[in-house]
Structure 1
């Protein structure tokens, strides 16, 4: 079986070989041309260096004749050495065309050097020195003229080469255009043939998938290919034979999930109703109202107020357990609850409030704060002989309303904290309204659909801190 990977590798290898051959041919041609061009340029530079060196000898000689200092003498010696070196390099320029001219050219440089040496041994103002200086100048002029002559001969000699380069450049451009067109055509044909071998089986699979989407499972899937797509077609065919059973399983699973979801909803409603049924019903509420009126008529106003607070708390519990309320309502309930507890603890219990009134209209599940306060009173403050302080702080921050409830009670262990946050009922002793701390955690997470709504920090002997993170935007719970 020829895999698609092998086809791609073969196709890519052919393209790389073609491009490599073209690149090698062009590189070789460019290298040969560059070598020839560098050789010609070097000949011009050698001739130009001779002319420059001879002129420099004349300049340094004049300076030395005007002022015979060691420095000027050293410069003259250096110029002579440079001319000697240039004279040696000139031999590289010799060919059949310039042989005679180049011989005279070399002799002139030798004459210039000899005359310079002779002049350096004469007195500057002597007639012979003046005559030799004029001779040196004349020889230098001959060298410059002959340099131009040799350069002109070089240009004529290599003129065919230059013209050939220009003509070859034009032909090379034409060849490159034809090669690009031919290569592009071959690549298009090869790409079409290669892609057709992949897309045709894919189209057949797509057509078969369309038939399956329309519910037609009778047509057998056939793909004419010898690569991975053929294996895929066979697998697709097996899928076609089992798809009816799969659809039935999906339907049954969806039905089961729907039933489980309905049961979950019913369970939540049952849980809320069970929380409500934990409180004594209307009989207790009516009895408390009767006792309150009787206490007031008998002059026991403090007992009457206490019974009114208990009755209001009971009324709130009975009416609001399955819906949301505002944070303001919850704080009112907390105040009523604390009035009841202060009747028990007197000066041993103190409530401190630090409230931002702009945050009190946010929605919160009913009976959220009171069970937390109740837990603090019964399990944190009551065991202490001197009682304690419960502090409630409310403030807005980063789109949330933060409600922090702190006490300076006996604290709780890490095990108890873990059980509360894992929504496990904690076995404790004491008087309670029946709604545990773990139930508060569960209801908050259900209400806000997030686990990050409550944080609990405590240490044995150092008090407890409960932080509620309430989103500022939250709709009401529907009955």
Structure 2
């Protein structure tokens, strides 16, 4: 755990301890007050319950004397049970101060129940007059119980008045204590928070001022932060970075002149190479020568030879003029068909090509001479080495915001190491010596540069199971260019 975290945890623990202490204290006093209040209330409720139960017993006894029935007799039993329970609760309230009064009170309850039993006995023996007398006595005892209950309640009120006032005063003091504890905890928390925040923000402010100076280009000012936490380590690292940047700027300034001179020399070298290449072969002369040979072959009846020469001329013209700029898929497919016609003249039935093209996708932009090197790679590795030749599938389909191009063959497959080298842009030497010079690695580099996307091309292959090259061409480039359907007229 780092030091800043320790400071924050310390603040949280201090606040937690204070809040826990307040909660425990308030809970204790609240429980104590509640117990006192419940004790007083229980005394009041006990006397009141005895009074109500005695009156109910007299009422049920009167109903039974007027109409003896099992139901009314059952009601008397219930009332007697209630008065016994009430008596038991009142008995719990006995203490040294009310022992005499409460003993008489309990004796009255017993007298009431005995009188009720005698009334029932006389009623069962058909002694109506004696039963009525016992009922009158029970009524008198019930009224006396009610009066005694009021007397005891009044005495209890006077006895516990001081205690009740003490509870009220204690509650007020508890509220004051809660307010003072809240203010104390709030003050201590604010002081501790200020101290911890100051120990964090002050070094950050120093570091911010140093960063502002660096943004103004002042790399000669030392960055120093006085603290013993991670921000001090960050400041030392930042100062080390300042020194490195300052040294790097000096090195860049020294190398800038050398790079400029090197670039000038490179441009001169490229210009001289171009002039040398143009002096070796004139493209216009070569195109005119191929056109002348094509017409001569046609006049002599060699139409196949004428078509092949026309395809070679078109492929050569395309490779020389279109390599440095974007073309449409329509143009790429047209040149691809010319290349396949040339290869079919060489391999005849050994080369089988199946083309599935969605015409709606042919307006998408693509770097020039992208598909022909991939097809050429399939011809070299899947068709040429096999005695019976091979099959190549070429598909263009709509894939939402992209166009999916698949070039698949049934050759011997490609090892994983070679796939990795191609996708990493390493130069892979073609075996067989028939390449045009634009290999798969160059195609990968040009596609990634053109679309500014690393995942534009993928290669799926297993040894002995053929190879599939998949191009995921965006319909809209990052520069906002929208591709259009080409004009085939």
Matched, 1:442 2:466: no
Partner residue, 2:148: 146
Residue 467 (structure 1) shift: 1.2
For residues 233 and 346 of structure 1, the distance between their equivalents in structure 2, rounded to whole angstroms, comes to 73
For residues 168 and 302 of structure 2, the distance between their equivalents in structure 1, rounded to whole angstroms, comes to 124
For residues 325 and 144 of structure 1, the distance between their equivalents in structure 2, rounded to whole angstroms, comes to 112
Matched, 1:159 2:161: yes
Residue 108 (structure 1) shift: 1.7
Which residue of the other structure, out of 401, 404, 425, is the alignment partner of 1:402? 404
Partner residue, 2:52: 52
Note if contact 1:281-1:318 (Cα within 8 Å) is conserved in structure 2: no
List per-residue Cα deviations over 1:189-208 (Å, max 9, x = no partner). 67667766776677677667
In the TM superposition, 1:27-106 aligns within 5 A as 27-62=27-62, 65=65, 66-67=67-68, 69=70, 76-77=76-77, 79-94=79-94, 101-106=101-106
Residue 336 (structure 1) shift: 1.1
Partner residue, 2:469: 466
Partner residue, 1:108: 108
Aligned to 2:123, the other structure's residue is in SS state coil
Aligned to 1:361, the other structure's residue is in SS state coil
Aligned residues: 462
For residues 338 and 80 of structure 1, the distance between their equivalents in structure 2, rounded to whole angstroms, comes to 115
Partner residue, 1:248: 247
Using structure 2 for the length normalisation, give the TM-score: 0.76
Cα separation, partners in 2 of 1:398 and 1:253, compared to 1, 3 Å: farther
Cα separation, partners in 2 of 1:369 and 1:213, compared to 1, 3 Å: closer
For residues 194 and 458 of structure 1, the distance between their equivalents in structure 2, rounded to whole angstroms, comes to 61
For residues 44 and 89 of structure 1, the distance between their equivalents in structure 2, rounded to whole angstroms, comes to 11
Note if contact 1:98-1:153 (Cα within 8 Å) is conserved in structure 2: no
Residue 347 (structure 1) shift: 4.0
Aligned to 1:425, the other structure's residue is in SS state coil
Aligned to 1:406, the other structure's residue is in SS state strand
Cα separation, partners in 2 of 1:373 and 1:187, compared to 1, 3 Å: closer
Cα separation, partners in 2 of 1:470 and 1:281, compared to 1, 3 Å: farther
List per-residue Cα deviations over 1:143-202 (Å, max 9, x = no partner). 233323322332343334434444554455455545555665666567667766776677
Partner residue, 1:118: 118
Mean alpha-carbon deviation: is it higher for 253-262 or for 319-328? 253-262
Note if contact 1:416-1:426 (Cα within 8 Å) is conserved in structure 2: no
Aligned to 2:428, the other structure's residue is in SS state coil
In the TM superposition, 1:121-140 aligns within 5 A as 121-124=121-124, 125-126=126-127, 127-140=129-142
Aligned to 1:93, the other structure's residue is in SS state coil
For residues 230 and 380 of structure 1, the distance between their equivalents in structure 2, rounded to whole angstroms, comes to 61
For residues 58 and 354 of structure 1, the distance between their equivalents in structure 2, rounded to whole angstroms, comes to 107
Residue 109 (structure 1) shift: 0.8
Note if contact 2:421-2:427 (Cα within 8 Å) is conserved in structure 1: yes
Note if contact 1:348-1:387 (Cα within 8 Å) is conserved in structure 2: yes
For residues 417 and 11 of structure 2, the distance between their equivalents in structure 1, rounded to whole angstroms, comes to 68
For residues 412 and 243 of structure 1, the distance between their equivalents in structure 2, rounded to whole angstroms, comes to 49
For residues 306 and 183 of structure 1, the distance between their equivalents in structure 2, rounded to whole angstroms, comes to 95
Mean alpha-carbon deviation: is it higher for 388-397 or for 156-165? 156-165
Cα separation, partners in 2 of 1:297 and 1:381, compared to 1, 3 Å: same
For residues 463 and 209 of structure 1, the distance between their equivalents in structure 2, rounded to whole angstroms, comes to 57
Which residue of the other structure, out of 432, 436, 442, is the alignment partner of 1:433? 436
Residue 328 (structure 1) shift: 0.9
Residue 235 (structure 1) shift: 7.4
For residues 455 and 220 of structure 1, the distance between their equivalents in structure 2, rounded to whole angstroms, comes to 49
For residues 366 and 432 of structure 1, the distance between their equivalents in structure 2, rounded to whole angstroms, comes to 17
Note if contact 2:219-2:242 (Cα within 8 Å) is conserved in structure 1: no
Cα separation, partners in 2 of 1:253 and 1:141, compared to 1, 3 Å: farther
Residue 247 (structure 1) shift: 0.6
